[in-house]
Amino acid sequence: MAWIESRDDVAHLLVAGQGRILLSRSLARTDTRDFGYEGCSVEHLSWCGKHLIVVTRELMYVFLLCVDPELGKVDPQGDECLCVRNAWRIERDLLVWVDYDPGMLCTAVLPSLEARPPLPFRGAPASGNIQLRGDETCLRVTLPDHAGGGTIDTLALPTDRQRAECAPVEDLLDIVERRLFPAAGAPGDARFAIEAVAHPFVRGAPQRRRRWCWPPPPAWMPVYWHRYLTSKGRTSEAGQLVEVLDALAALLPESEPEHGWDPGWTAREGQIELAVRHVCRQSRVLAGVCRSGVLPPGWWCLLFDPAPKSTVAGSRADPSAFPPTLRGKFELLAQTEPERLPRGP
């Protein structure tokens, strides 16, 4: 039996069994002694096997904790933890949330919090506006009235079989490239664009245990590269990059909705298909930003900002986790200390 008690402004988790209290501890993960501390509240509490899934809110942050009551009373900071600042939803053993990757939802299985393939959807609306509604089989990605209103896409969630069989696909980026360019290899900067956009499909789970200094995704890297080429007078190369993005976008009409997982897919087929579609979908957004020079409304990018207590450009990111082509361009750009991309209204 588990329940929450609020003492002052801080929520406490209690677990009881066999007639006694087995665990009693604060759920605060930030400094409660800070003058500006605004308290800790609980938005979700449920059992997942022998673990407790707890979603708490502190300041502007939402933390999902996976608590083992036996270990929790020994090491309160030993929980598995995700910072899921934007919209989130739990459907049985699957966590789905909006992160900082444009045009996709992140997923992880409970209670391990191991990453699962993300779910692409159309466009790149401001992440803070996206709402998730649905049930155990599908989610509707929607916008509130003040942000345009209506459903963007309805995404089928992976089946139990697909969740259980899911494993990293070796050479996923090579497979995506061959699917998009079956006749000859990727032209120009197409490989670079594929690596930047499809990175969430090959990374691990960088969100685990993170708090505020998350590794910013490289999703907007082609825009930085386009701006760099233009600044160096390499306008022909900059134009070719936009042409490549347009060619990728043309492979998937903007009007065609995303549907999520097809129950007939194997776990491997699903990861590849979703990655291919996301590359095409996001290439259209990137081409538009290259032309306008401004990120879509509500978005920003901290990819080349120094990490807290650092002055080194790009130190928030972990380029060692990037594929080769993407890493090479990131390291070259970091030396130039790029200015942050302008934000839309």
What percent of the chain is predicted at pLDDT more than 70?
95
CA of 97: how far to CAs of 93, 152, 221, in Å?
A: 13, 15, 23
Which pLDDT score is estimated for 213? 47
Which pLDDT score is estimated for 340? 93
Phi-psi region of 145 (alpha: psi -120 to 50; beta: other; left: phi over 0): alpha
At 74, the pLDDT band (50, 70, 90 cuts) reads low
CA of 310: how far to CAs of 112, 113, 143, 215, 339, in Å?
A: 32, 30, 37, 14, 16
Neighbours of 77 (CB within 10 A): 8
What whole-number distance in Å separates Cα of residue 83 and Cα of residue 63? 5
The length of the chain in residues reads: 345
Asked whether the beta carbons of 141 and 152 are under 8 A apart, the reply is yes
What whole-number distance in Å separates Cα of residue 94 and Cα of residue 116? 9
Residues ≥6 apart with Cβ < 8 Å to 46: 52, 53, 90
Tell me the three state secondary structure of residue 205. Answer: coil
Rg (CA), the chain: 21
Residue 288 has pLDDT above 90, yes or no: yes
For the segment 212-237, the average pLDDT, to the nearest whole number, is 90
Tokens representing 199 are: 């990175």
For the segment 77-86, the average pLDDT, to the nearest whole number, is 78
Which pLDDT score is estimated for 73? 61
Q: What is the pLDDT of residues 142-164, one digit of tens each?
A: 999 888 889 999 999 999 999 98
Which pLDDT score is estimated for 193? 95
Tell me the three state secondary structure of residue 33. Answer: coil
For the segment 235-246, the average pLDDT, to the nearest whole number, is 96
pTM for the predicted model, two decimal places: 0.90
Q: 266-281 as b/e, with b when 16 or more CB fall inside 10 Å? A: ebbebbbbbbbbbbbb
Through-space distance between the first and last CA atoms of the chain, rounded to whole angstroms: 48
Q: What is the pLDDT of residues 182-196, one digit of tens each?
A: 887 778 789 999 999
Asked whether the beta carbons of 80 and 113 are under 8 A apart, the reply is yes
Element (H, E) at 279: helix 267-292
Which pLDDT score is estimated for 315? 92
Kind of pairing between the strands at 20-26 and 88-91: unpaired
CA of 336: how far to CAs of 148, 225, 325, in Å?
A: 38, 11, 18
Residues ≥6 apart with Cβ < 8 Å to 334: 304, 313, 314, 319
Going by C-alpha positions, the residue among 332, 298, 321, 311 that lies closest to residue 224 is: 332
Going by C-alpha positions, the residue among 179, 133, 145, 166 that lies closest to residue 276 is: 179
Tokens representing 124 are: 């790149």
List the domain boundaries for the chain. Answer: 1-83, 84-335
Tokens representing 28 are: 């605060």
Q: What is the pLDDT of residues 96-146, one digit of tens each?
A: 999 889 999 999 999 888 889 999 999 889 888 899 998 889 999 999 988
For the segment 232-243, the average pLDDT, to the nearest whole number, is 96
